[in-house]
Structure 1
Amino acid sequence: MKNLIAEFFGTFWLVFCGCGSALFAAGYPELGIGFAGVSLAFGLTVVTMAYAVGHISGGHFNPAVSLGLWAGGRFDSKDLVPYIIAQCAGAIVAAGFLYLILSGKAGFAIDNTKAGAFASNGYGAFSPDGYSIVSAFVTEFILTMFFLLIILGTTDKFANTKFAGLAIGLALVLIHLVSIPVTNTSVNPARSLSQAIFAGGEPLMQVWMFWVAPIAGAIAGGFIYKSFLETKAA
């Protein structure tokens, strides 16, 4: 049970601080942190919780990561559904607290006719810079695939795992620096679902893509590492 609680809180932290940085601080007049700041915030959530609870649950905080680790032979299939439920629950509760905080600001309302509503992900007219569904899918697929290659590589029994949490967090920073203009960056179905639920409308209608593309990319990354990169025991 401790591992599921760890996944709940780890995913909560990722959504609350990552999406919170986008909602509260990214566009703050003159002092806003912008894309670079949001990218760093997401990376720091993973670094901090990887070292805080990674030893308890493995520090997935992402359904795509759990499925990618399963494809790479590092995670038991019987734990997949409980992990994904815990991750989605943590993300949704975090989004609820973000909504509660934002509702305390005069004039607050979610405009779900615009890209990035409530830090949601999207494609087409709901992509921050108008990228098509194909562009969005390819971006999410490739970035999640490499995310899994990095996770599997840095946590390999032959790697220096002391710095794995830092490398994985920095990878997420880099992922956001590339893809915020394209999809507002998902690579995490739980993060996408939580924001889409509160945004509603078209962001919720498009959330399927931010499950399919990251999961497909993660499974591909897990398969590639296991088949071609992993050092086999002599």
Structure 2
Amino acid sequence: MTVRWVAGPSPVSDTIPQIHLKLLITGLCVGLLLIALIRGRPGRISGGHLNPAISLAMWRLGVFRGAAVLPYIAAQLVGSVLGVSAARAMWGPSVGNPPVVDAALRPGPGWSADALFVAEAVSVGCIVYLVGLFLRFPKLAPLVPWLVGFLICAAIALLGTITGGSENPARQFGPAVVSGQVGFLWVYLLAPMVGSAVAATVLNAAHNRHAVLTHRLCGTHADGSALRGSEQ
């Protein structure tokens, strides 16, 4: 819906002629939404992954059950399809037409699948590494939702015209399936997972003396008790 109003035919889009400004506004909207979802009650209950690459990374960092990875990924991909379908139901077939095309992403002109794979893997790897690093320090762990929002906003604003700025297999899955724009879908699905796994491996090797404090992201101690006062 954000893409429909900011990039598609609309009074909002008409007042923003520059593509980079449109991407910045889109990134801000998505970043703030991610912060709200991660910090909200549903995010605290589920862990607020919202991204198959993050679910994989949390498993590789040793704080998420391996048996839950595939169910989480399945739920994230199904949610992506449901989100696009809901937008279609609300706004009609117009969101499936250019320039919106169900918010499906495409790399910039001249980009090959190999180059796109490297770019997506590296960018997601950087995000996972920073998130994992923040989660290893008590004073930084509560800032993770804000870090994620900022990084995704920056990726959309800076990489939107180059790689599409996906950073999330679920972000592209629903739009690509519903719109039929599946040309680079395998790259958008696989590259973030590879980048995430590599980043988690490097992080484990470089900071193996610090435990990952995912409970801080949920506002509790490791035993589930609430944080108080200056701890929050």
TM-score (norm: length of structure 1):
0.78
CA distance in 2, matches of 1:41, 1:128: 22
| Distance change (3 Å), C-alpha of 1:204 and 1:120 | same
**Among 96, 106, 110, which residue is 1:110 paired with?**
96
Please report how far the alpha carbon of residue 95 of structure 1 lies from its aligned counterpart in structure 2 after TM superposition.
Answer: 0.6
One-letter amino acid of the counterpart of residue 15, structure 2: E
The aligned residue for residue 186 of structure 1 is: 166
Q: Deviations over 1:202-221 (max 9, x none)?
A: x2242111111110011111
Percent identity, please: 22
The aligned residue for residue 153 of structure 1 is: 133
| Distance change (3 Å), C-alpha of 1:129 and 1:24 | farther
Quick check: 1:67 aligned with 2:47? no
The aligned residue for residue 225 of structure 1 is: 203
Q: Which stretches in structure 1 are left out of the alignment for 5+ residues?
A: 1-19
CA distance in 2, matches of 1:65, 1:160: 18
Q: How many residues align?
A: 203
CA distance in 2, matches of 1:228, 1:84: 27
CA distance in 2, matches of 1:109, 1:118: 5
One-letter amino acid of the counterpart of residue 35, structure 1: L
Q: Which stretches in structure 2 are left out of the alignment for 5+ residues?
A: 212-232
Q: Deviations over 1:48-104 (max 9, x none)?
A: 111003321111001111112212222110111111111112111111011122317
The aligned residue for residue 5 of structure 2 is: 24
Structure index of larger Rg: 2
CA distance in 2, matches of 1:115, 1:71: 38
Please report how far the alpha carbon of residue 157 of structure 1 lies from its aligned counterpart in structure 2 after TM superposition.
Answer: 4.8
TM-score (norm: length of structure 2):
0.79
| Distance change (3 Å), C-alpha of 1:230 and 1:103 | same
| Distance change (3 Å), C-alpha of 1:180 and 1:116 | farther
| Structure 1 residues 103-182: aligned runs within 5 Å | 103=92, 108=94, 110-111=96-97, 117-122=101-106, 127-182=107-162
Judge conservation of contact 2:105–2:164 (CA < 8 Å) in 1: yes
The aligned residue for residue 77 of structure 2 is: 88
Q: Deviations over 1:9-30 (max 9, x none)?
A: xxxxxxxxxxx21222235101
SS in 1 for 2:160: helix
Quick check: 1:208 aligned with 2:193? no
The aligned residue for residue 37 of structure 2 is: 49
Judge conservation of contact 1:121–1:210 (CA < 8 Å) in 2: no
Let me know the Cα RMSD of the aligned residues.
2.2
Which of the two has greater helix per residue?
Answer: 1
CA distance in 2, matches of 1:98, 1:183: 24
Judge conservation of contact 1:130–1:182 (CA < 8 Å) in 2: no
One-letter amino acid of the counterpart of residue 14, structure 2: P
